[in-house]
Structure 1
Amino acid sequence: MNTVLTIAVVVVLILAALVAGFVLRERLRRARLRRRFGPEYERLLAESPDHRAVERELTERERRHADLNVRPASAEMRRRYTHRWTEVQGRFVDSPGPAVMEADRLITSLMAERGYPTEGYRQQVTDLSVDHGRSLEHYREAHRVLERGVGGEAATEDLRLAMRHYRALFEDLLGDEQAGLPSDGDATAVPSPDPAPAPRPEARPTDARHPA
């Protein structure tokens, strides 16, 4: 009887250890996914409260990303794209709509040169979420402006915000060494017209009897 009881206790302890190990492993995996995907993890969880479904989706994204040949931005690439961004940003004041569309194309070009597939916006978002989840919402917000149309349908303020959103993703894609990138607002802030000069005070007539 003692032997049977001992075996039962050992089996229970082993099962408890296995369950504890499984729970710990799941918690660590969940914490890792949350750290890696950041706001994207929370966004998916808000859409579907099923943690397992969300984590399966994110794990699948990681698998696809691992098969891509994604390269970091080289120093030469950073210099070249920083120059191109400065040109695009400089055109915003006179042509906000075309500048925003050009910023979108520049983002796509940078993605392609880094090794990301660019066959469609939805897939681009999915692939970017693995390493750039914290700036992904900027991409979505900028793209929403494009979907509404920049040919006169989007207000100038919307276009300005779209440029700032594109800039946030652009900086993230380039890395931490975007030396020389103009500060936010240098060109995306549309200047207000110069104020009209204040009227000059009228000259008071001089009384001829009392010369000045």
Structure 2
Amino acid sequence: MALRPRMRSRKLRDRFGPEYDRTVQNAQNRRAAEEELAEREKRHQQLQLRDLSEDERQRYTAQWTQVQEQFIDDPARALDAADRLLVNVMADRGYPTESYRQQVADLSVEHARPLEQYRTAHDIAGRAGRGEASTEDMRSAIVHYRTLFVDLLNGRHAQHTAHNK
């Protein structure tokens, strides 16, 4: 029967990628971490997620271009705008956006690969808001935000295609 837990672990590791390792590292033990990840999957199945329409994708892409242009004159405000834009995309896709912690947990099921970059960008944006981030840090954050932005814009179809390759 030891095979069943091993198969569950492999399935979760494949699904969550680096988020699996992060969750195991932060949990009391592997079993607790795997239960948390399984709960995330259950919650995720209850969400009414949808892909964006082509018009929405074009509108968000234009808004992202504005964020990048704003970065030249005011990097800290551009980071704030990038964070808000991502939250708007999440909301339009059907993700609850009530708290950053819940956003990360919900995104981890389908968007685990760019999640660490999102965490890093979010942290840098917070430091930038307090005047504690360098321009290079903020440039890096914009790149990190863009990774999740593109992933969210592409939707589930792209996720399943990439995951099955």
- Verify same fold: TM over 0.5: yes
Equivalent in the alignment of 2:31: 52
Equivalent in the alignment of 2:138: 159
Match of 1:89 among 52, 68, 75: 68
2:50–2:94 Cα contact (<8 Å) kept: yes
The amino acid that maps onto 1:42 is D
Unpaired runs of 5+ in structure 1?
Answer: 1-18, 177-212
The amino acid that maps onto 2:125 is L
Equivalent in the alignment of 1:133: 112
Please state how far the C-alpha of 1:152 moved relative to its aligned partner.
3.1
Give the secondary-structure state (helix, strand or coil) at the position aligned to 1:71. Answer: coil
2:79–2:138 Cα contact (<8 Å) kept: yes
Q: Which has the higher helix share?
A: 2
2:82–2:145 Cα contact (<8 Å) kept: yes
Is 2:88 aligned against 1:109?
Answer: yes
Give the secondary-structure state (helix, strand or coil) at the position aligned to 1:92. Answer: helix
Aligned pairs for 1:1-212 (under 5 A) are: 19=1, 23-48=2-27, 50-175=29-154
**CA deviation profile, 1:67-94 (whole Å, cap 9, x unmatched):** 1101122222211111110111111111
**CA deviation profile, 1:135-156 (whole Å, cap 9, x unmatched):** 1001100111122243533211
Structure number with bigger Rg:
1
Cα distance in structure 1, aligned partners of 2:149 and 2:56: 12
1:138–1:168 Cα contact (<8 Å) kept: yes
**CA deviation profile, 1:15-69 (whole Å, cap 9, x unmatched):** xxxx3xxx33222221111111110001112223622111100000011111110
Cα distance in structure 1, aligned partners of 2:133 and 2:26: 28
Comparing 30-39 with 105-114, greater Cα deviation is found at: 30-39
TM-score, length basis structure 2: 0.88
Unpaired runs of 5+ in structure 2?
Answer: 156-165
Give the secondary-structure state (helix, strand or coil) at the position aligned to 1:93. Answer: helix
1:97–1:151 Cα contact (<8 Å) kept: no
Cα distance in structure 1, aligned partners of 2:49 and 2:38: 17
Moved over 3 A (4+): none
Cα distance in structure 1, aligned partners of 2:52 and 2:119: 22
The amino acid that maps onto 2:124 is V
1:150–1:159 Cα contact (<8 Å) kept: no
**CA deviation profile, 1:141-173 (whole Å, cap 9, x unmatched):** 011112224353321111111101100110111
